[in-house]
Amino acid sequence: MKPVIWLIGGTSEGRRLIKELAGLSVQLFVSVATEYGAALIEPQDNTTVLAERMDLAAMEAFLAEHKPAYVIDATHPYATVVTATVQQACETQKCRYLRLVRPQGEAGDYITVHDFAEAVELLNHLEGNIFLTTGSKNLPDFTGVKDYAERIALRILPMESSLKSALELGYKPANIICMQGPFAKDLNIAMLKKYGSRFMVTKDSGKAGGFDEKVEAAAEAGAKLIVIGRAGEEVGAGFGEIVHLLREEFSHAES
């Protein structure tokens, strides 16, 4: 029986890690929240993909059944509730937990706010169009921006549920872009110019999430970047550290 590893999260680093683990003597379970997230994962012989949202009880039941050697939390830096739930489940079931930490973006010429409410408050004191790149989950927050339907163009994942949410909230169809990132600097510039955006709102998604390209694009397009800061400094391991650890422990004997 091969040892089990459970990887949670559909981030770009998580998908890279799946490829690294494909050559190891392990059985890998990968949990993502949606079928869309599952479709982005390249099939591997040793990998089973689970597309479902799990609460604490479901996570604890999964851990009790499969008894993984490691649980790797590769969720987005802003998915703090999921991370807290995974940590609690691992603590209860006495499972080894690894947090894959995404490096933060380099400091630059942008405005950092603490949360979405502060971003909305700031935008209500500013004039001009806004390009919103924080995802569909927080679209309700930005309906608090004065004249949001006229001022805000937004970029979300190409998922039916995300588009439906945006439309139901009153965002204009002509101002909605459904695309999978990360995005090159030139494409960001083109989008900012198309919508005449004076402001670009984003999260600090780090290099892997295309943050540097957003910083550069905003500067070149003459837009001010507003960044939603992370809740706090994460504790965990980088991509290379986790790959090294797992290779040391689970590499095939012949390799």
pLDDT in tens, 81-95: 889 999 999 999 999
- β-sheet with 4-8: strand ranges across: 47-51, 27-32, 4-8, 70-73, 97-99
30 confidence band (pLDDT: 50, 70, 90): very high
Place of tokens 């691992």: 90
253 has a pLDDT exceeding 50: no
As given in the structure block, the two tokens for residue 34 are 């949606």
Query: For the ranges 29-38, 60-69, 142-151, which has the lowest average pLDDT?
Result: 29-38
164: enclosing H helix or E strand: helix 160-168
Q: Where are the beta strands (DSSP E) in 52-101?
A: 70-73, 97-99
What is the C-alpha separation between 86 and 207, in angstroms, rounded?
25
pLDDT for the residue numbered 255: 39
CA triple 114-228-222, angle to 5 deg: 125
What is the C-alpha separation between 192 and 215, in angstroms, rounded?
12
- Between 207 and 5, whose confidence is greater? 5
Q: Is 135 helix (H, G, I), strand (E, B) or coil?
A: coil
pLDDT for the residue numbered 252: 58
Q: Is 28 helix (H, G, I), strand (E, B) or coil?
A: strand
